[in-house]
Structure 1
């Protein structure tokens, strides 16, 4: 049964189909991938088949109408394509009659189904399957962002700060390894879930982050990705309770997501943190995030060090009975959550304790060595100690983050504050050559226009 266009609406068949396709992509992409992988244990075929199904929908729905159940339509189309490929492969290998091949395919499919009964959530099963330890860590993350979140190669490359060509090669390598190596693409036994927990947490965090740092499309924010990431963490926390990395990450995401309704103006322009309406922040989520931080075990908390404390001391405080990477990741998320909590609990922008935030960023930079953290620390130091101090911390970041538009954007803001509008305008123009999202581009253009506009008479 199909739903044809209602003449009372203003949507054309093409517009209705386009909207339905976009909704189906968000709602069904990863579920379809997971179902096909679970049934056929061929992630390479699953992705291709789902992509083909969406292409078929783009051709048929504007003409035939949007199906009542778009997910079922897409699943049927994708299954047909998987079976066509399996039939073709089997015939090529054995050159036996199609009926025999079909029987073999059905038997094989029945044998590889991954029930994963101890992980009830489909999305979470797929994430755990993608994070097999035999796959290189970077490949696991990229593969999961592709299969589970449905990000494009360009979006994943931007999120992970690598070249698009390198990311395309990474994804191709990971899928070929899965197809040729016999790695069981399945949910690990319950006793082995912890072995993949750090990578699973990383993927969930990046999925959340991708919603707030979209690529070249017209959508400025993907609140649905934030909602889904938090939902997955709650499921994960119930499946593996009291894991510091899960609790710390859940605290961080709740605190960051609590501001979702105030990040954009009605016209779609960005609203910076100091200008957001704090009365519209979700206070229950802030309270839950703070409570989670306070509940973390001492081994994952460590006493907050002074801003100039040695990061190695924090590492020495880690419980050696747990995997170092997991514990370090928990501490990384905890420090980020503490920073988010400082922002979320300040009554006004003027009440923000920037000196505390700068000290937390210093700990985080020493723990991770991340140039992105250095960039954020430069902003905090500028607020706490003045723009000149922040500018000093930007030295060398252009080489470390050559495609990151926020490096010149931050430099521009600080140059304005130190009274150098000419250099600031140059930095804004550089940022505009790097930014890909239209909403962020509009914001940067408005800042540049305000800086270079002739004075009013």
Structure 2
């Protein structure tokens, strides 16, 4: 995706949220927003990107919404659409998230719909993020929109007494938006996710989930300037220049994490536990000084509250650093993640470190056959070449899984 397309897609989430507030219709807002985005992609390469892209898109979407409503005799044109169309005191994006995450919808539908609307992702991208088939996501989105219309689900931030029950799906959505931006190098999506996480903490300052989520995003985002090479290749955590990590974000993340852990001493929140893993890396002066016993122990805690194959894969990567690749490979091989590219890439790293270069090359090739974001793809291509060369020369491989 080129920079212009990324800009248009990322701004589209805010435009859509504003249109939903003004029109009260998700379908109408999506149609008008999509038309505005397409117009921008045609117009801006010729006329140049406007000084305020978001305002340009909002005005274009407003005009399109008015045209659509006027053509539908049964739908009156709302006066709000003729106003200045500025933002209300409420946060439009947060209101849209809560609408998409209404308890009348299944959790799966909540996450898919909010990711689709707020992240500006296509159905295939949502399917990749959720690790489910694309037709499944398409059905979830269709049913969710129908349910919103039939149940007249409101577009607003819920009352305080309803917030905790609604937080689980909202937190999952914000984290998926962050991951999409972090993985694909979209600064705008990352910034929106961090901003939404801060808003959640402001709304629910004593909720461990909100606090843990914010801590995790801050700690992960602290490494943003050290993650990619000038050529756009993913740099493994072991090889990152830690002087480029943002110490202010690390300090804030650790403080927020401490509050989150104190708020849930009996059953730690899953985001807080993941933040604890990230803190182990953030506070280690060097890769060699990473406290791997603590990292593995935190993953053991995480498995008690969020036991998934991906969590077990990440734990296996930590075991590889603590106990060696021979101890980790059986753990990886036992996981049902054959359609997950990082499973193959992790196997490739372990096999390469064990000197099984030909098998490692095959594992990296299997990862490349699946959907990988560009920075990771460049990294895996490089690893595959290294494995093929090592299979001929039998050169040793230096460890360094990126977990």
Global fold match (TM > 0.5): yes
Which residue is 2:224 aligned to? 260
Give me the CA root mean square deviation: 2.5
Whether 1:247 aligns to 2:217 is: no
Q: 1:404 aligns with which of 335, 340, 360?
A: 340
Tell me which residue corresponds to 1:25.
9
SS in 1 for 2:157: coil
CA distance in 2, matches of 1:396, 1:201: 29
The answer as to whether partners of 2:227 and 2:240 remain within 8 angstroms in 1 is yes
**Aligned partner of 2:234 among 259, 270, 274:** 270
Report what 2:258 is aligned to: 294
Any conservation in 2 of the 1:37–1:43 contact (CA below 8 Å)?
yes
- Tell whether the 8 Å contact from 1:21 to 1:54 is kept in structure 2 after alignment: no
- Stretches of structure 2 lacking an aligned partner (at least 5 in a row): 395-403
Classify 1:188/1:418 alpha carbon distance in 2 versus 1 (closer, same or farther; 3 Å). same
**Aligned-pair CA distance for 1:63:** 4.7
* TM-superposition CA deviations, 1:272-324 (whole Å, max 9, x none): 00111111111121122222222236451x3xxxxxxxxxxxxxx34xxxxxx
Separation in 1, partners of 2:78, 2:208: 43
The correspondence for 1:365, drawn from 299, 303, 308, is 303
Note if 1:200 corresponds to 2:138.
no
Q: TM-score, normalised by structure 1?
A: 0.78
Q: Does 1:137 align with 2:107?
A: yes
- Name the structure 2 match of 1:57: 40
Asked if 2 retains the 8 angstrom alpha-carbon contact of 1:132 and 1:185, the reply is no
Aligned counterparts, 1:316-355, within 5 A: 317-318=266-267, 331-355=269-293
CA contact (8 A) 1:146 1:153 kept: yes
Moved more, 401-410 or 429-438: 429-438
> 1:405/1:438 Cα in 2 relative to 1: closer, same or farther (>3 Å)?
same
| TM-score, structure 2 normalization | 0.88
**Aligned length, in residue pairs:** 388
Change (3 A) 1:65 1:337: closer
Aligned equivalent of 1:229: 193
CA contact (8 A) 2:8 2:41 kept: no
1:97-149 C-alpha deviation (Å, 9 max, x unpaired): xxxx6xx4337989xx9x985xx322222212222111111111111112222
Matched residue, 2:125: 155
Matched, 1:105 2:105: no
Deviations 1:321-343 (A, max 9, x none): xxxxxxxxx62112111111111
Matches of 2:263 and 2:34 in 1, distance apart?
45
3-state SS of paired residue (1:213) = helix
